[in-house]
Structure 1
Amino acid sequence: MSQPVFPPAPRPLHVVALGGDGIGPEVTAQALRVLRHMQARHALPLVIEEMPYGNATWRATGRLVPAATDAAIGRADAILFGAADSLGRSAMPAEERARGSLLALRRRLNLFANIRPVRTERALDEVSPFKARTLRGVDLAFVRELSGGIYFGEPRGIERLEDGQRRGINTHSYTEEQVVRAARFAFALARGRRGRVTSVDKANVMEAGALWRQVVGALHHDEFRDVALDHMLADTCALMLNRDPQRFDVILTDNLFGDLLSDAAAGLAGSLGLLPSASLSPPAPDGRRRALYEPVHGSAPDIAGKGIANPLAAILSAALLLRWSAGAEAAAREVEAAVSAALSAGARCADIALPGEAVLDTAGMGDAVLARL
């Protein structure tokens, strides 16, 4: 990805690591190895703090987010996050689930822009279900609006109707301000890349989608005419990600479509275990944004504790932290190059290995990346 669109602040960067649930602690441990290596190598002013969070913490303490962790989050500039297992929290009181949820954390940090880069590696052409000619040169970034849409809209819930049936309700809603700040971020990002934004909506059937398209178009006309803009329906975007992914540079879309389409794009890379993400707040007066960095994949409880999870998405999330929060572009590029070099040399975890290929465990893949650094 491009240079950061905001300058790093001069004070030390306070990083809080929350391993979370399932494979989260395992992959975060490898990301921290790489982050600490780059901290020493580039003399970066980072203060790194590891704190307990998640289902195991709740079982031990009765809190998903203990008081000390809550205080650390309050003073954090950046959070390196592992994974959250919401399905594993059914036994918890609803209030505790809500207080410690990932959505609550995003709301607390005022995160509004989620960046999910998707790049293809020549070494993994045979791992992807797509033909090599489709994969060649894919380098795109989703900008997913993170504070609104169907995940936050009201009313929501499950109600019982007069005839005894239950009805589930979720509300998809957006304000102009929410659309503008996400779109402005996407246009600014595209200026440092290849200069094209594809705005994705369902303006044909959703009023909120029609507003999205109108607001994005007006902002483009007023402030970003140097950036190319095209509008695309979400179902068409899903098709074109399969047929012609090279056409995309920055894909701007809402909370729901961004979640779905970016996960689907993992097929281009070869695995969800390769996709990082960064979620950013608006800038503070000192220019620094609060941020959360996490792999796109989930907690994968079926393989948790086995030491076989792919840590590359977490390691690449640490690279995004170096870029977007630490302002250390050179260090970020070194980590990304080391991941590419490890893959080119044949380093494989189980999720990206072909039949008969040697498979590394989680720590072994961390070793492979560090060896290239």
Structure 2
Amino acid sequence: MKASIVLLPGDGVGPEVVAAARAVLDGVATRFGHQFTYDTHLIGGIAIDETGDPLPAATLEAARAADAVLLGAVGGPKWDDPNAKTRPEKGLLAIRQGLGLYANLRPVQSYPELVASSPLKPDRIEGVNLLVLRELTGGLYFGKQYREQTERGLRVVDTLEYMDFEIRRVIRLACSLARGRRKKVTSVDKANVLESSRLWRQIATEVARDFADVTLEHQLVDSCAMRLVTAPGSFDVLVTENMFGDILSDEAAVLTGSLGMLPSASLGEGRLGLYEPIHGSAPDIAGKGLANP
């Protein structure tokens, strides 16, 4: 197999873990007769420092032409000014949107060797094997944002927007993935409050009719957060919108005892995917050889 891989080391421990991953890929290529070519580009804070843009045009162009993208991490205290014109995380949002990567998959599985490291009791975490599927290119993170000064004070607005097709495709993917697992999908929303969640629930119900062998359940996001702690083994595939997925996937990741051990894949309609560890840039240990690759 021949494949072109774009490497995006990013910030903090990103360069260290990407270098380790490349060494593994080289070993795989040698052992199994594959040919991997690599092209390294900027993203995140280092891209801001060097170009003023967290996602330079050259990075996005190279990623679009590649077979896969391997990302390290973005961000750090150096770029944490909330009033900054741009931030490293904007690069991550932009590359997802630019590549049409609408679904983020985070498998969470407990391993016997790590059970003692989990914040939960062993009998609660043993046997956990769930998949969090997060919609990536809609919702609050991509809606209109603005500030305005009013007579009563400063007003800020974030807009939560979804198109029906954006919901439909991620629900369909969740059901398809569930068919290869335990055939259960938990759709998470806030349908008791949000109009966007009511549409989410409606479309999830419609799509599930095409998957008679898959069981669909609906759960409000607040009770889902509690259930992830009290009964994590009851989940199979968990699918939700962008912000809810951002929060719940981190909560689920901690269940196994090590946030740094879990992978993430961001996928779209085509073959191209973006792959990364789910941990952050960990600037406190960057350059010390302590990051787990």
TM-score by length of 2: 0.92
Q: Does 2:167 align with 1:182?
A: no
SS of the residue corresponding to residue 265 of structure 1 reads: helix
Over 3 Å counting, the alpha-carbon distance change for 1:242 and 1:63 in structure 2 is closer
Q: Does 2:280 align with 1:298?
A: yes
Shift of 1:12: 3.2
Q: How do 1:250-289 and structure 2 match up within 5 A?
A: 250-283=237-270, 289=271
Query: Residue 157 of structure 1: which of 146, 150, 162 is its match?
Result: 146
Query: Residue 158 of structure 2: which of 170, 180, 191 is its match?
Result: 170
Shift of 1:100: 6.3
User: In the alignment, residue 262 of structure 1 is paired with which amino acid?
Assistant: S
CA distance in 2, matches of 1:45, 1:51: 20
Q: Which residue of 2 aligns with 1:207?
A: 195
Q: How do 1:235-246 and structure 2 match up within 5 A?
A: 235-246=222-233
Shift of 1:298: 1.3
CA distance in 2, matches of 1:69, 1:227: 40
Query: Residue 219 of structure 1: which of 207, 212, 216 is its match?
Result: 207
Shift of 1:15: 1.0
Over 3 Å counting, the alpha-carbon distance change for 1:56 and 1:134 in structure 2 is same
Q: Does 2:182 align with 1:194?
A: yes
CA distance in 2, matches of 1:208, 1:57: 34
Gaps of 5+ in 2: none
Give yes or no for contact 2:44–2:91 (8 Å, CA) kept in 1.
Answer: no
CA distance in 1, matches of 2:194, 2:84: 35
Shift of 1:212: 0.3
SS of the residue corresponding to residue 217 of structure 2 reads: strand
Give yes or no for contact 1:22–1:299 (8 Å, CA) kept in 2.
Answer: yes
Q: Which residue of 2 aligns with 1:115?
A: 105
For the aligned residues, what is the CA RMSD? 2.2
Paired residues in the alignment total 292
Q: Does 2:96 align with 1:106?
A: yes
How much identity, in percent, do the aligned residues show? 47
Over 3 Å counting, the alpha-carbon distance change for 1:77 and 1:187 in structure 2 is same
Shift of 1:210: 0.8
CA distance in 1, matches of 2:218, 2:72: 34
- TM-superposition CA deviations, 1:309-337 (whole Å, max 9, x none): 222xxxxxxxxxxxxxxxxxxxxxxxxxx
Over 3 Å counting, the alpha-carbon distance change for 1:272 and 1:144 in structure 2 is same
Over 3 Å counting, the alpha-carbon distance change for 1:67 and 1:266 in structure 2 is closer
CA distance in 2, matches of 1:273, 1:220: 34
- TM-superposition CA deviations, 1:144-177 (whole Å, max 9, x none): 01110111112x12222223x2222111121110
Give yes or no for contact 1:98–1:104 (8 Å, CA) kept in 2.
Answer: no
Over 3 Å counting, the alpha-carbon distance change for 1:262 and 1:70 in structure 2 is closer
TM-score by length of 1: 0.73
- TM-superposition CA deviations, 1:180-213 (whole Å, max 9, x none): 0000111111111111111111111111111100
Deviant stretches of 4+, over 4 Å: 60-68, 90-93, 96-100
Over 3 Å counting, the alpha-carbon distance change for 1:198 and 1:158 in structure 2 is same
Q: Does 2:57 align with 1:76?
A: no
- TM-superposition CA deviations, 1:251-296 (whole Å, max 9, x none): 011101111001011221112111210001112xxxxx22111111
SS of the residue corresponding to residue 126 of structure 1 reads: helix
Q: How do 1:356-367 and structure 2 match up within 5 A?
A: none
User: In the alignment, residue 15 of structure 1 is paired with which amino acid?
Assistant: I
CA distance in 1, matches of 2:49, 2:221: 41
